[in-house]
Structure 1
């Protein structure tokens, strides 16, 4: 078992986008740590995506060795669901979707990045459209918000949050209830995803596995779905 010190070392040990995304914790001030064993990698990412995570990828037997060495109470280990099924000694806590894509995507018209003095409008929209949103303005995580206006009213938003070198991350997608069914979610996601692909080369997001409409939107934008499980 060896220690990995940089995101580049993590990527060289295992190129899975999930662990490369978590490896942002190895940047200065991130407070993270990473290890490799055989063909597997484990990245401890404190406070990433609102959880103290241990993100793992690789062959199940090698992952099991990393879990035995580095799992502790309070961590939230993430593995693909296929891997979780091969690790019955670690019960599942929950399952959700991880979606990813590379390449390029043209930016639609009528969307722009919002100024920080407009973030209060984002919060007001989220309280109406998505009160259980995982991402909120003025909290740790989101770096910028994009918005669509109808007249002077902000009616759709999406955020860049928790992006890593080489992998942009989309979050906080919401559309005002009175403006749904008009393709606004697709437009605003296309805008943010296009920008993240241009800047990072790849883009990812997390989605509730039961949210079929959102998954369809992301699939139309070129994302592929993988099932990910959080272990106890």
Structure 2
């Protein structure tokens, strides 16, 4: 039986319709929120509905699911990659000392840091998807982490990134632990995604108590031609 975690984008968009464009067969996050999209299934009608959500030009959508990606007619995959989905299987201790809650006033800095470090699609209003915390050093946003997709019982840890000037200080570990611990305090299970080739990140998350649940297929789609 499929679990919401097998298609987290679809599950998230179903339970947060205020973030979504689309309908019963396919949905995507609003263009200033995120670039993820999903079809309900691989039926012809669902794939056609997904294709209709991709605008002509430079618009792209990201798919993230455990099943193989079926590319809808009229779209082309400009990138595919393997990832892993990990879930926290033990209580995580997190200390937010020295961290700041980030919000609209920090949006430009958050976008600049994410654009530089590429933790995943991050747009002007991605920070509104959940709670984000950051660490400032000498007034600069040195690192941040927060939440992205969510559905009943589960919240995704995402946006974990550190400015190159401040790497090697354990900031990513501290922030990942803090975000995970806060999710757990609210009674949800934390999950996250990492590129399958990013062995350093996977090892970090394993040290916090995350275990790999399943392989994930990632694809970036755009209109053909």
TM-score by length of 1: 0.66
Aligned equivalent of 2:100: 112
Unaligned runs of 5+ in 1: 1-12, 35-43, 56-65
1:132 Cα deviation from its structure 2 partner = 6.6
1:32 Cα deviation from its structure 2 partner = 5.2
Aligned equivalent of 1:174: 161
Aligned equivalent of 1:143: 130
Q: Say whether 1:51 aligns with 2:26.
A: no
CA distance in 1, matches of 2:45, 2:167: 45
- How many matched pairs? 193
Confirm or deny: 8 A CA contact 1:21 1:165 kept in the other structure.
no
Confirm or deny: 8 A CA contact 1:135 1:142 kept in the other structure.
no
* Greater RCO (CA < 8 Å, at least 6 residues apart): 2
Confirm or deny: 8 A CA contact 1:147 1:154 kept in the other structure.
yes
Which piece of structure 1 moves more, 144-153 or 183-192?
A: 144-153
- Per-residue CA deviation, residues 112-165 of structure 1 (Å, 9 max, x unaligned), is 32242122222333344x157422443486333210122422211112122222
Aligned equivalent of 1:202: 189
CA distance in 2, matches of 1:147, 1:125: 11
Counterpart selection for 2:178 from 191, 198, 217: 191
Give structure 1 regions of 4+ aligned residues with deviation exceeding 6 angstroms.
none
Aligned equivalent of 1:41: none
Aligned equivalent of 1:72: 47
SS at match of 1:227: strand
CA distance in 2, matches of 1:78, 1:118: 28
Unaligned runs of 5+ in 2: 52-61, 71-76
1:205 Cα deviation from its structure 2 partner = 1.6
| RMSD, aligned α-carbons | 3.3
Q: Say whether 1:24 aligns with 2:12.
A: yes
CA distance in 2, matches of 1:138, 1:197: 24
Confirm or deny: 8 A CA contact 2:88 2:189 kept in the other structure.
yes
